[in-house]
């Protein structure tokens, strides 16, 4: 079957069709006005932005109720046969009556199809095909039911049999077709099946077979150069003469004449009335055609109306496994980040492991805490508060959800509960003795279930092992020694298994010592079993939900509400846009913009939003030879500051009072008439990001995830309530593809792998925000700020009086 005619898109004014049926599945989208659709004895009224699917071979009629513009999208039955593999599947898609489902995505896709159809702004139909396939995928995933569904099975026996007949014809039209053979397969007689078909369609079976064959022949005539004999044989006719005879009976002309007459019109099939075209182009204008993604929107904010800003983003940075903290290069980066970004906690993973040589897992007593205390001494001496996570996890450098650059199991599996408990009891006593109760009272401790691998949730060997016993022992031991210290449960990726998540929360709620906090790892992935990492199964694939963080926090919050657990106990211990340490998006301004978006949009009630992670030294490997390698650190190995570093540094300067939060900005107040405003232009990656593995070989591959049509954004913010007719300075610090972005600065060196030390130093100096200053005047008590942002640009505005 040719791919050219799998879909048909038409736009009709005042659509009206008498009772009929067709094998194609038809989706109707009302652009304007309203229409009535009659299916058997039921009548449905569709209004603006309603969608309706008419299934294959269903008798129906359409009439206009008021002046209407309707888009009709026809999916060829043959493509559905290939995709669905089942003849008895129906689409239940009717937004006019079904209020239990969301039709937002289908409506959005229909609007894109309509606009592309009338605008024809692309050189090929590739974009249109992708839209139509995506629309079909949405229908299949969310609006398809099969013949076992009670909604369609009741009183639909004749329709189901008709579907089987049609499926048989479309899958066998190139070969011999026999109604008697089909009747035997359906355990009925040929005459019964013939009468049923005639009653349902108004056409004799043999005539229908010829109609199907000639329809496929038309595709061959219009879209190939095959001769008549080849087309006849490919479409199930015995010879060219038989083909010509049938074709002439149906179309009143020979196939050669039809080809000659119609082929020249194929390219002109998309014809839309000019007034309809103008209306749709104006209303449905795609954002990539404007200089700006959206028309500049003026936002007026009252600077006298404020709320307190909760600073959750600069409290916690993950510094990795405890033995990594002993490296000089890692220590330098930890100290540098603490000085520059001012974070409070350094979160350390898996305190007890085989590399620290603390215990053999068998012997009770005589523990070797030397390496652990050396790491903790460094943090305490530099006034950094330890956050110790005892949860088991592998020592790994993940490149994508199915691979890792290196993987090592460094767990200590204790031979019994007595060995395990004695180690922890002695360790906590030594902490208090070494650092004092006052110091340890500031620390945080957590333990949990890792969740990523199948066998990492057992801490000691014992029949009847229960993780709640593990948590309760840790909590009781710490609280007995240092009552003020905080002890929490590490939930890992809370998205894995709502039932198991609720179960463990219920048990924790009922513990004698309830968690002071419950931490979650917030990466945009959804559960799905795939071939896993060495050492267990990775059960997550990338989520396409652009509001993943907000939706996930709301889902977790509802689970807390259900169990009576306060939402303020939620802590995000690790956040990033990817789990991969070979993903150049980690080095991009996109990551920085996404982080700022999350803080502005979702973090108002979060106490801690932890960043993954401090330094690219934490994910070093033999292949990490470049200036940047897609690592998840805030700093490159050469201490080149990434855009995410500057995003944190900028929002650290936000004022203590929030004036307003917008889609692309947040206004804060420093003092009377002095403001700090963060702005960003987040442009999302396209669907190709989800097709390829997360680890890219080159920067160019990462940049290809962003459409070239991503354009500038104009933001206009009006501050109401400032000093009357006064002058203000506006200092602007910006990071974009032209200034401050390591991934773009390195590109100026052709992404050379072997830069000299002087060139590295140059990059260190060049990767800084652009600084500018302008002067503006308030009009009355209104100060207007206008700025343009490049794609993936973020900036901080400091607005202060000139006096």
Please write down the HEC assignment for all residues of 382-399: CCCEEEEECCCCCEEEEE
Report the alpha-carbon distance of residue 761 to residue 765 in Å, rounded.
6
Q: Given this model, what pLDDT does residue 667 score?
A: 98
pLDDT bracket for residue 151 (50, 70, 90): very low
CA-closest candidate to residue 348, choices 426, 229, 249, 446: 446
Asked if 92 and 98 touch (Cβ cutoff 8 Å), the reply is yes
Asked if 503 and 468 touch (Cβ cutoff 8 Å), the reply is no
Q: Given this model, what pLDDT does residue 265 score?
A: 57
Whether 152 shows a pLDDT value over 60: the answer reads no
Report the alpha-carbon distance of residue 377 to residue 339 in Å, rounded.
17
Whether 165 shows a pLDDT value over 50: the answer reads yes
Whether 278 shows a pLDDT value over 90: the answer reads no
Between these two residues, 713 and 450, which has the higher pLDDT value? Answer: 713
Q: Which residues pair with 658 in a beta bridge?
A: 307, 668
Asked if 70 and 10 touch (Cβ cutoff 8 Å), the reply is no
Would you give the DSSP letter of residue 205? H
Asked if 725 and 797 touch (Cβ cutoff 8 Å), the reply is no
Asked if 739 and 583 touch (Cβ cutoff 8 Å), the reply is no
Question: Cα torsion for 756, 760, 766, 769, to the nearest 10°?
Answer: 160
Q: What is the percent of the chain with per-residue pLDDT over 90, rounded to a whole number?
A: 56
CA-closest candidate to residue 315, choices 509, 134, 575: 575
Whether 318 shows a pLDDT value over 90: the answer reads yes
- Using CA atoms, how far residue 621 sits from 224, 393, 497, 618, 629, in Å, is 53, 19, 33, 9, 10
The helix/strand/coil state of 58 is coil
DSSP β-ladder status, 444-448 and 385-389: parallel
Between these two residues, 456 and 375, which has the higher pLDDT value? Answer: 375
Strands (E), 81-156: 90-91, 144-145
Backbone angles phi, psi at 68, to 5 degrees: -135, 155
Q: How many of the other CB atoms lie within 10 Å of CB of 454?
A: 12
DSSP β-ladder status, 17-20 and 60-75: antiparallel
Q: Given this model, what pLDDT does residue 141 score?
A: 86
Whether 440 shows a pLDDT value over 60: the answer reads yes
Would you give the DSSP letter of residue 54? E
In the chain, the largest separation of any two C-alpha atoms, in whole Å, equals: 101
Asked if 150 and 47 touch (Cβ cutoff 8 Å), the reply is no
- Using CA atoms, how far residue 589 sits from 596, 740, 741, in Å, is 11, 9, 7
Top mean pLDDT of 149-163, 220-234, 453-467 is at 220-234
Range of lowest pLDDT (47-51, 120-124, 379-383, 593-597): 120-124
Q: Which domains does the chain have, with CATH numbers?
A: 1-154 (2.60.120.10), 287-309+583-803 (2.60.40.1500), 311-568 (3.20.20.80)
Q: In what order do the strands lie in the sheet with 657-661?
A: 307-308, 657-661, 665-671, 674-680, 794-801, 727-735, 770-777
Q: How many of the other CB atoms lie within 10 Å of CB of 222?
A: 18
Q: Which residues pair with 300 in a beta bridge?
A: 718
Asked if 572 and 609 touch (Cβ cutoff 8 Å), the reply is yes
Asked if 19 and 62 touch (Cβ cutoff 8 Å), the reply is no
Whether 499 shows a pLDDT value over 70: the answer reads no
Whether 701 shows a pLDDT value over 70: the answer reads yes
Asked if 492 and 461 touch (Cβ cutoff 8 Å), the reply is no
CA-closest candidate to residue 233, choices 245, 241, 222, 223: 241
pLDDT bracket for residue 526 (50, 70, 90): confident
Strands (E), 125-181: 144-145
The helix/strand/coil state of 354 is coil
Average pLDDT over residues 244-250: 92
| Number of helical H runs and strand E runs in the chain | 25, 30
Q: Given this model, what pLDDT does residue 283 score?
A: 60
Q: Which strand (E) or helix (H) includes residue 231? A: helix 228-234
pLDDT tens-digit map of 703-751:
888 876 667 899 999 999 999 999 999 999 999 999 999 999 999 999 9
Q: Given this model, what pLDDT does residue 659 score?
A: 97
Q: Is residue 492 exposed (0-12), middle (13-18) or buried (19+ Cβ within 10 Å)?
A: buried
pLDDT bracket for residue 155 (50, 70, 90): very low
Cα separation of the two ends of the chain: 76
CA-closest candidate to residue 488, choices 517, 450, 449, 448: 517
Whether 268 shows a pLDDT value over 70: the answer reads no
pLDDT bracket for residue 531 (50, 70, 90): very low
Between these two residues, 540 and 86, which has the higher pLDDT value? Answer: 540
Whether 369 shows a pLDDT value over 70: the answer reads yes
pLDDT bracket for residue 501 (50, 70, 90): confident
Report the alpha-carbon distance of residue 608 to residue 295 in Å, rounded.
35
3-state secondary structure 505-555: HHHHHCCCCCCCEEEEEECCEEECCCCCCCCCCCCEEECCCCCHHHHHHHH
Whether 404 shows a pLDDT value over 60: the answer reads yes
Average pLDDT over residues 233-239: 91
Average pLDDT, the chain: 87
Between these two residues, 148 and 754, which has the higher pLDDT value? Answer: 754
pLDDT tens-digit map of 598-625:
999 999 989 999 999 999 999 998 888 8
Between these two residues, 258 and 87, which has the higher pLDDT value? Answer: 258
Top mean pLDDT of 19-23, 126-130, 229-233 is at 229-233
Size (the chain), residues: 803
Q: How many of the other CB atoms lie within 10 Å of CB of 789?
A: 24
Whether 276 shows a pLDDT value over 80: the answer reads no
Give the distance from CA 105 to its chain's centroid.
Answer: 14
pLDDT bracket for residue 636 (50, 70, 90): very high
- Residue 629, CB-side half-sphere exposure with 13 Å CA sphere: 23
Would you give the DSSP letter of residue 167? H
Q: In what order do the strands lie in the sheet with 782-789?
A: 297-302, 713-720, 782-789
75 preceded by cis ω (within 30°)?
no
- What helix, strand, coil percent values describe the chain, rounded to 5? 40, 25, 40
- Using CA atoms, how far residue 234 sits from 203, 327, 494, in Å, is 24, 71, 55
> What predicted TM-score, i.e. pTM, was given to this entire model?
0.69
pLDDT bracket for residue 85 (50, 70, 90): low
Would you give the DSSP letter of residue 759? H
Whether 291 shows a pLDDT value over 80: the answer reads no
Rg (CA), the chain: 33
Backbone angles phi, psi at 533, to 5 degrees: -65, 155
Average pLDDT over residues 217-229: 85
Between these two residues, 412 and 59, which has the higher pLDDT value? Answer: 412
Whether 289 shows a pLDDT value over 50: the answer reads no
Top mean pLDDT of 239-253, 617-631, 646-660, 742-756 is at 646-660
Report the alpha-carbon distance of residue 716 to residue 714 in Å, rounded.
7
Backbone angles phi, psi at 189, to 5 degrees: -90, 160
pLDDT bracket for residue 533 (50, 70, 90): very low
Q: Given this model, what pLDDT does residue 150 score?
A: 47
Q: Given this model, what pLDDT does residue 40 score?
A: 73
- Using CA atoms, how far residue 138 sits from 134, 294, 751, in Å, is 6, 26, 40
Give the distance from CA 225 to its chain's centroid.
Answer: 44
Report the alpha-carbon distance of residue 186 to residue 184 in Å, rounded.
5
- Which residues make Cβ contacts (< 8 Å) with residue 581, sequence separation at least 6? 397, 398, 399, 405, 619, 629, 630, 631, 632
pLDDT bracket for residue 284 (50, 70, 90): low
């Amino acid at each position: 079957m040719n791919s050219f005619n799998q879909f048909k898109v038409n736009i009709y004014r005042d659509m009206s069709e008498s009772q009929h049926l067709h094998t194609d599945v038809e989706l109707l989208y009302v652009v304007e006005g309203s229409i009535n659709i009659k299916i058997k004895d039921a009548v449905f009224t569709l209004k603006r932005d309603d969608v309706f699917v008419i299934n294959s071979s269903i008798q129906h009629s359409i009439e206009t109720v008021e002046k209407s513009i309707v888009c009709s999208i026809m999916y060829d039955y043959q493509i559905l046969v290939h995709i669905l593999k089942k003849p008895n599947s129906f689409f239940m898609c009717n937004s006019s009556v079904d209020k239990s489902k969301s039709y937002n995505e289908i409506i959005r896709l229909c609007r894109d199809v309509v606009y592309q159809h009338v605008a024809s702004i692309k050189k090929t139909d590739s974009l249109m095909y992708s839209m139509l396939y995506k629309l079909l995928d949405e229908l299949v995933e969310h609006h398809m039911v099969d013949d076992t569904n009670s909604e369609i099975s009741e009183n639909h026996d004749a329709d189901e049999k008709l579907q089987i007949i049609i499926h048989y014809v479309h899958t066998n039209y190139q070969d011999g077709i026999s109604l008697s053979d089909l009747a035997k397969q359906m355990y009925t007689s040929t005459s019964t099946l013939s009468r049923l078909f005639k009653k349902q369609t108004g056409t004799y079976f043999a005539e229908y077979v010829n109609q199907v064959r000639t329809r496929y022949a038309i595709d061959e005539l219009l879209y190939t150069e095959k001769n008549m004999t080849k087309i006849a044989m490919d479409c199930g006719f015995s010879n060219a003469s038989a083909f010509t005879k049938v074709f002439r009976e149906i179309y009143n002309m020979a196939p050669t004449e039809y080809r000659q007459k119609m082929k020249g019109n194929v390219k002109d099939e998309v014809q839309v009335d000019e007034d309809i075209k103008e209306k749709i182009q104006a209303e449905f204008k795609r954002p990539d055609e404007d200089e700006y993604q959206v028309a500049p929107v003026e936002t007026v904010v009252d600077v006298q109306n404020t709320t307190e800003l909760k600073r959750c983003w600069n409290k916690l940075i993950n510094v990795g496994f405890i033995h990594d903290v002993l490296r000089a290069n890692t220590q330098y980066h930890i100290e540098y980040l603490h000085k520059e970004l001012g974070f409070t906690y350094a979160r350390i993973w898996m305190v007890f492991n085989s590399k620290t040589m603390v215990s053999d897992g068998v012997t009770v007593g005589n523990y070797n805490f030397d390496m652990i205390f050396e790491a903790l001494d460094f943090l305490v001496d530099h006034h950094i508060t330890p956050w110790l996570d005892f949860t088991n996890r592998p020592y790994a450098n993940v490149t994508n959800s199915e691979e890792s650059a290196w993987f090592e199991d460094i767990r200590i599996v204790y031979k019994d509960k007595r060995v395990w408990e004695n180690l922890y009891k002695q360790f906590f006593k030594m902490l208090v003795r070494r650092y004092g109760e006052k110091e340890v009272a500031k620390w945080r401790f957590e333990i949990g279930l890792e969740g990523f691998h199948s066998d990492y949730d057992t801490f000691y060997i014992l029949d009847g092992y229960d993780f709640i016993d593990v948590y309760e022992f840790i909590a009781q031991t710490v609280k007995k020694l240092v009552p003020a210290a905080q002890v929490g449960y590490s939930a890992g990726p809370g998205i894995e298994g709502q039932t198991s998540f609720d179960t463990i929360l219920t048990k924790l709620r009922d513990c004698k010592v309830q968690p002071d906090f419950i931490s979650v790892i917030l990466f945009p992935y959804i559960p799905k079993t795939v071939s896993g990492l060495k050492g267990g199964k990775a059960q997550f694939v990338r989520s396409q939900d652009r509001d993943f963080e907000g939706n996930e926090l709301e889902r977790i919050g509802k689970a807390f509400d259900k169990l009576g657990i306060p939402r303020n106990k939620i802590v995000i211990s690790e956040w990033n846009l990817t789990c991969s340490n070979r993903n150049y998006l980690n080095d991009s301004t996109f990551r920085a913009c996404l982080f700022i978006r999350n803080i502005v949009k979702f973090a108002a009630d979060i106490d801690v939003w932890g960043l993954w992670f401090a330094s690219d030294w934490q994910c070093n490997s033999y292949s990490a030879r470049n200036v940047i390698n897609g690592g998840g650190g805030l700093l490159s190995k050469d201490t080149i500051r990434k855009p995410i570093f500057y995003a944190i540094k900028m929002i650290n300067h936000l004022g203590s009072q929030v004036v307003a939060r917008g889609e692309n900005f947040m206004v804060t107040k420093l003092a009377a008439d002095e403001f700090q405003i963060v702005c960003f232009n987040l442009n999302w990656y396209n669907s190709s990001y989800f097709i390829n593995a997360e680890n890219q070989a080159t920067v160019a591959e990462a940049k290809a995830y962003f459409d070239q049509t991503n354009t500038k954004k104009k933001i206009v913010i009006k501050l109401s309530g400032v000093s009357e007719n006064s002058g203000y300075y506006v200092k602007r610090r910006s990071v974009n593809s032209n200034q401050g972005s390591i991934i773009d600065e390195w590109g100026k060196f052709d992404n050379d792998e072997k830069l000299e030390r002087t060139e590295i130093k140059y990059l260190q100096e060049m990767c800084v925000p652009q600084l500018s200053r302008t002067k503006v005047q308030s009009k009355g008590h209104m100060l207007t700020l206008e700025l343009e942002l490049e794609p993936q640009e973020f900036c901080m505005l400091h607005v202060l009086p000139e006096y």
